Amino acid sequence: MVSPEFGKKPPAVTDKTQIYIVGGGIAGLSAAVFAIRDGHIPGKDIHIFEAYDHLGGSMHYAGSPDEPYYLHAAWKVNVEAHQCMWDLLSAIPSLTDPGKTVKDEVFEFNRTHKKDAKSRLIDKDKNRTDIPEYGPLGLSWRDRIDLIRLILIPESWHENRRIDSFFAPSFFATNFWKVFSSTFAIEYWNDLVEMKRYMRRFTHAVHTAGTGHAETVFPYTLYDSAIQPIAKWLGEHGVSFEMGCKVTDMDFKPSQDELTVEQIHYIRNGEKKKIVVNKGDNVFVTNGSMVADWRRGSMTEAPVLETGKLDGSWTLWENIVKKRSGLGNPSAFDSHVNESKWVTFCFTCKDPTFIKLYEQFTGNKPGQADMVTFKDSNWHMSILVPDQPFVMDQPEGTYCFGGCGLAPDVEGNYVKKKLSECNGEEILT
Ligand SMILES: Cc1cc2nc3c(=O)[nH]c(=O)nc-3n(C[C@H](O)[C@H](O)[C@H](O)COP(=O)(O)OP(=O)(O)OC[C@H]3O[C@@H](n4cnc5c(N)ncnc54)[C@H](O)[C@@H]3O)c2cc1C
């Protein structure tokens, strides 16, 4: 593995080259697709190590037609900003119609399922805002100038600053902030650099963010529509999936000016193992994960917070940064669990009562809005009701939807508990 920061080209690929990929999320799977399609590496020489017994990482879901579904990630992407993803999906046949690529399938779905949110934000008096133009974003001239400053000033000037140290307090009451923070799951106490990066990447989408026109959605969950077809394609090319393998550490060649992995250490079924990496091999690592150490609750139990950094992605990242500089800073992500945690939820209903209430309250039909944010919610709660069925094997007459709360440690407006202490029934209430 050679990082660009170390300024050396990777050794040339030979017919003995092996590719080791740590992480079976979309990043690891994409690395494998590009190695085959663009790097012309035979699939049999590509090995993906995944700590869980399933692929997909943040995009995985649990559940079945007989059990409730549980999903992490949503399903919205942006045509302009997610170019690598479209390039990836243009190589992959769709599961529902192998004559089409996944990219074609997604674009066709979005042509026939137009989004046009009747409300993106809704307040406690049921006033809806669909934010068709800049005006209702509520930004003052000072806020606008601050946003431009944020985009233009070098990143190094913003390091170690919270978002609320940069903007006027009134900025956080604007519709712009409510849409921005809920879209990107970012809070005013988060890092300013994170906000700057999102602003730079999605500036073109700001004016339509409230109507949902900026977003492209997948016909089904990301796991069904993207992960499963990619995994099928990789399997057909002979890629080996080393499931249940937690990579814990790596040894590097002693050198100041290049970064070369010599050994990969992993645990499988409780047994410690290692792989010797040879010259010409390549190693790709997913470091950190938005769903690292996630825990699931139920209708009757709240999830239990895990702060022990047990997840493979933290273990590996923390171990390798002790050995070499230039590999990032895991503590920026894993040492403030209370500030960075969030609660997401997913419901499977066997009758349409909730969907009907949602339509009456928001004016949106399922799939018409990216998400709806309750402006006055203490929990900073948003819900997302996609086109149904959302999961490919979802039985007819069931409804699957979800949401999140970005301020989980504040007492709720109606249920007088912290969101992080609520079970599913209390959240649905
Ligand atoms: C609730 C939620 C909503 C989201 N909504 C959107 C959205 O609408 N649009 C959007 O674009 N993005 C969204 N995202 C973000 C998006 O899902 C993630 O950015 C993306 O899935 C990350 O992919 P990844 O492969 O980098 O990492 P992950 O999906 O985290 O996968 C990493 C994988 O690597 C494995 N792994 C890590 N370390 C090791 C190790 N040492 N050994 C073995 N295995 C290891 C993990 O087990 C995991 O399976 C959302 C995320 C969440 C959680």
Q: Residues 133-144: pLDDT tens digits?
A: 445 788 999 999
- 233 and 329 co-located in one domain: yes
pLDDT band at 257 (very low <50, low <70, confident <90, very high): confident
pLDDT at res. 304: 96
The C-alpha atoms of residue 10 and residue 284 are separated, in whole angstroms, by 12
pLDDT at 206 over 50: yes
How many other CB atoms sit within 10 Å of the CB of residue 12? 8
- pLDDT, position 418: 97
Find out whether the beta carbon of 291 lies less than 6 Å from any atom of ligand 1.
Answer: yes
* pLDDT for the residue 256: 73
Q: How confident is the model at residue 117 (pLDDT cuts 50, 70, 90)?
A: confident
- Centre of ligand 1 to C-alpha 340, Å, is 15
Tell me, yes or no, whether 373 and 312 share the same domain: no
In a domain, 110, yes or no: no
* Residue 395 scores a pLDDT above 80: yes
- Classify residue 116: in a domain, yes or no: no
CA 51 – ligand 1 centroid, Å: 13
**pLDDT at res. 71:** 86
The tally of domains found in the chain comes to 3
In a domain, 143, yes or no: yes
Q: Is the CB of 27 under 6 A from ligand 1?
A: yes
Looking at the domain assignment, is residue 299 inside a domain? no
Same domain? 343 vs 266: no
Residue 71 near ligand 1, beta carbon < 6 Å? no
pLDDT the model gives residue 4: 45
> Is residue 120 situated within a structural domain?
no
Beta bridge partners of 283: 20
pLDDT for the residue numbered 143:
96
Q: Is residue 362 part of a domain?
A: yes
State the average pLDDT over residues 174-193: 91
Backbone region of residue 203 per phi and psi (left: phi > 0; alpha: psi in -120 to 50; beta: other values): alpha
Last residue of a domain, one of 208, 234, 253: 208
- Are 169 and 69 part of one and the same domain? no
Cβ–ligand 1 distance for 211 under 6 Å, the answer: no
The alpha carbon of residue 191 and the mean position of all alpha carbons in its chain are separated, in whole angstroms, by 17
DSSP for 18-64 reads -EEEE--SHHHHHHHHHHHHTT---GGGEEEEESSSSS-GGG-EEEE
Checking DSSP bridges between strand 282-285 and strand 343-349, what pairing results, if any?
unpaired
Q: Are 228 and 330 found together in one domain? A: yes
Parallel, antiparallel, or unpaired for β 282-285 and 19-22? parallel
Predicted confidence at residue 288, as pLDDT, reads 87
Residue 84 counted as domain residue: no
**Judgement on whether residues 328 and 342 belong to the same structural domain of the protein:** no
Q: Which domain holds residue 414?
A: 337-428
Cβ of residue 24 lying under 6 Å from some atom of ligand 1: yes
Rounded mean pLDDT of the chain?
90
Whole-number pLDDT of residue 270? 95
The pTM for the full model equals: 0.93
Angle at 152 between CA 151 and CA 156, to 5 degrees: 90
Are both 231 and 319 inside the same structural domain?
A: yes
Q: Is residue 94 part of a domain?
A: no
The pLDDT tens digits of the residues spanning 2-33 come to: 344 444 555 677 889 999 999 999 999 999 99
In this structure, the dihedral spanned by the alpha carbons of residues 386, 392, 395 and 396, taken in order and rounded to 10 degrees, is 60
Give, for ligand 1, the residue of 30, 286, 317, 406 to mutate: max count of ligand atoms closer than 8 Å to Cβ: 286
Distance CA 239, CA 43 (A): 4
Helix/strand/coil for 235: helix
Which CATH number do you get for residue 321?
Answer: 3.50.50.60
pLDDT of residue 116: 81
Q: Whose CA is nearest to atom 36 of ligand 1?
A: 23
Ligand 1 atom nearest to 266, measured from its CA: 42
| 240 and 327 housed in the same domain | yes
For residues 189 and 244, membership in a common domain is answered with: no
For the cut 70, the answer to whether the pLDDT of residue 46 exceeds it is yes
Q: What is the pLDDT of residue 209?
A: 66
Exposure b/e, 154-192, CB count within 10 A at least 16 = b: eeeebeeeebeebbeeebbebbbbbbbbbbbebbbebbb
Asked whether 72 lines ligand 1 (CB < 6 A), one says yes
In the chain, DSSP finds a helix count (H) and a strand count (E) of: 13, 17
Q: Tell me: pLDDT of 342 over 70.
A: yes
d(CA 390, CA 228): 15
Check: CB of residue 378 under 8 Å from CB of residue 410. yes
pLDDT in tens, 135-180: 578 899 999 999 999 999 999 888 889 999 999 999 999 989 998 9
Same domain, 328 and 358: no
CATH number at residue 361: 3.30.9.80
Whether residues 240 and 259 share a domain: the answer is: yes
Residue 131's pLDDT is 58
- Choose one of 208, 229, 252: the last residue of a domain: 208
Mean pLDDT of 78-86: 88
Q: Does 314 share its domain with 341?
A: no
379: closest CA among 323, 421, 337? Answer: 421
- Which residue, of 149, 180, 208, is where some domain finishes? 208
**Contact in structure between 121 and 210 (CB atoms under 8 Å):** yes
pLDDT at 236 over 80: yes
Please state which of the ranges 73-82, 203-212, 290-299, 343-352 shows the lowest mean pLDDT. 203-212
